[in-house]
Chain A
Amino acid sequence: MSSEPLIFELSSPGRRAFDLPALDVPEATLPGALRRGRAPELPEVSQLDLVRHFTHLSQRNMGIDTNFYPLGSCTMKYNPKVNEDVAALPGFANLHPYQSGDTVQGALEVMFELERWLAEISGMDAISLQPTAGSQGELTALFVCRAYHEKKGRRPRKVLVPDSSHGTNPASAALCGYEVETVKSDDKGHVDLEDLKARLSPDVACLMMTNPNTVGVFEKDVRAIAAMLHAVDAQLYYDGANLNAICGLARPGDMGCDMMHFNLHKTFSTPHGGGGPGAGPIGVKEHLRPFLPVPRVEKDASGYHLKEEGFPESIGRVRCFYGNFGLLLRGLVYMRALGGDGLPEVARGAVLNANYLLALLKDRFEAPYGDRCMHEFVLSASRQKRENGVSALDFAKRLLDFGYHAPTVYFPLIVPEALMVEPTETESKETLDAFAEVLRGIAREAVETPELLRQAPVNTVVGRLDEGKAARQPNLRWTPCPPPPA
């Protein structure tokens, strides 16, 4: 497929893709000083040109609907179509956030019900649906944590994160004004309890933990960790990125976790949208409830209400309005489709698929954390790097040639040449078999014809990119030709 021109390159003055009814009131004008001198140089294209352009762009893109996407830590499961249909209903899509309560009872019911579902799934006591994405959920919970300590007159300065943690954990902690300290993992991938103990003090505000963690291992000592933290009044944060592994079978709230976020765009099937939107609701235990953001959804005999006032200890708002409602809605549709009976089957399927895939691949790669995993696993291409001079990146790029999205590479940071694979429960055995056969074939190529990996991909619309040039000479926008001199 040849490259697609920029929409600006398709532009021809005088064309348009949309028209308006004639203005039926007198035309008003603005004071001259406030007016724009020159119209923005937006593209001028016909409607068909526009449709073809964006259709071509879509054809130069890969989604779950087109290909297997075993991207570790991202939970790229099927995004059910009925979710999209429901979200597009005018009764949901065309609601203004400031409509009076009596005209939005259905929307408030969705929010109230979703809170109830998330609370039961997580074992948490209170939920806020406001955060827009997982990282904003983290930040919101840390704001809550900070408010909790401050109310007790305490100002702990540190947040602990395991060395296997996602980069948003330390970034969120820093944004919340905390110093970040890294806790080591032991050789099985668990949080190193001795190292944790050595770092604990009243100066620790919380530990941010993912469970199962990013190497796909369940932190079996989570209760002991919670007790150690609570002994210094530090909080245990549960990063819900990997909730898919245990949903309906074990609950963060029962493990001693005090607060957590959910990624509806991972666990609960809302589409990733090419990088968003997501939704990152948080859950907290009772002692943190007073600090949750406003507004909150409540129900009484007269119906559902959004309440702004009466929460003097609330951290306030982390965004306008009520969260990514359209995604909250899709998440609830998914939960209702699976039901209380189906959600544990999701976790079982996710863990079975991951272990099966690991079993098919473990003789070809180093598997630093053994032959069992939860919903995802980490392989290392260290041996191939050493012996054949091919890296995890080369494996990733070669997979693209066979129509697979690559696994997550070089994460977690503690595994050299990491390939992190998460198949999810929505993939069939046949898909896993085919993928494993291809990856095993690539492992063979790595020994016999390593150049094929280093040159890959060759079957994609573009080959490997010069990322250095992109960073050294940033070209981040289209620049119109200067207007001709008057």
Chain B
Amino acid sequence: MGVPADLRYTKSHEWARLEGGKVVVGITDFAVAAIKEIVFLELPPLGRAVEAAKPFGVIESVKAVFDLKAPVSGKVAEVNAKMAEDFEALARDPFVQGWLVKLEAPGADLSGLMDAAAYEKFCAEEHH
């Protein structure tokens, strides 16, 4: 699966995209592959303030826990609650159907995050 060119990426394998005044956040297919079998996803309640690079949720396999880290600071405006029940859907399409939260982040600037080319290079390095 290719890494979509229109998204921005974090070193902790989240992606972010501006949509209206909001920032849509999800995890990448690289993260999904690394987790192997998702058994639990915890997403924040609506209205929760999140801070850039700090955890806003948790995703788990049987024997490992990964924090979901916010690409930008903001307030949780929407949550894709369906994903917390249908891990297969999340694993199938992490970049579109599998978005996790939308953050209210006026004036958010994603330019500090990696672009697709930089992220692919980052993953290739991490893989070795």
Q: Which residues in A have some Cβ–Cβ distance to B below 8 Å?
A: 467-468, 470-472
Contact = CB atoms under 8 A, between A and B. Distances in A.
A290 B84 CA distance: 51
A467 B37 CA distance: 10
A467 B36 CA distance: 13
Q: Tell me whether chain B's interface is mostly helix, strand or loop, or mixed.
A: loop
Interface of B: 37, 39-40, 60-63, 87
Given A468-B61, A472-B87, 8 more contacts: A467-B63, A468-B37, A468-B39, A468-B62, A471-B39, A471-B40, A471-B60, A472-B40
A73 to B, nearest CB: 17
A469 to B, nearest CB: 9
Contacts of B39: 468, 471-472
14 contacts: A467-B62, A467-B63, A468-B37, A468-B39, A468-B61, A468-B62, A470-B62, A471-B39, A471-B40, A471-B60, A471-B62, A472-B39, A472-B40, A472-B87
Nearest to A467: B62
Closest A-B pairs by Cβ, 9 of them: A471-B39, A468-B37, A467-B62, A472-B39, A471-B62, A468-B39, A468-B62, A471-B40, A472-B87
A408 to B, nearest CB: 14
Contacts of B62: 467-468, 470-471
A349 B61 CA distance: 40
Contacts of A468: 37, 39, 61-62
A470 B40 CA distance: 11
B127 to A, nearest CB: 15
Contacts of B63: 467
A472 B90 CA distance: 14
A468 B40 CA distance: 10
Contacts of B61: 468
Contacts of A472: 39-40, 87
Nearest to B87: A472
Kindly name the residue among B39, B60, B61 whose own CB sees the greatest number of chain A CB atoms within 10 A: B39
Contacts of A471: 39-40, 60, 62
A472 B63 CA distance: 12
Contacts of B60: 471
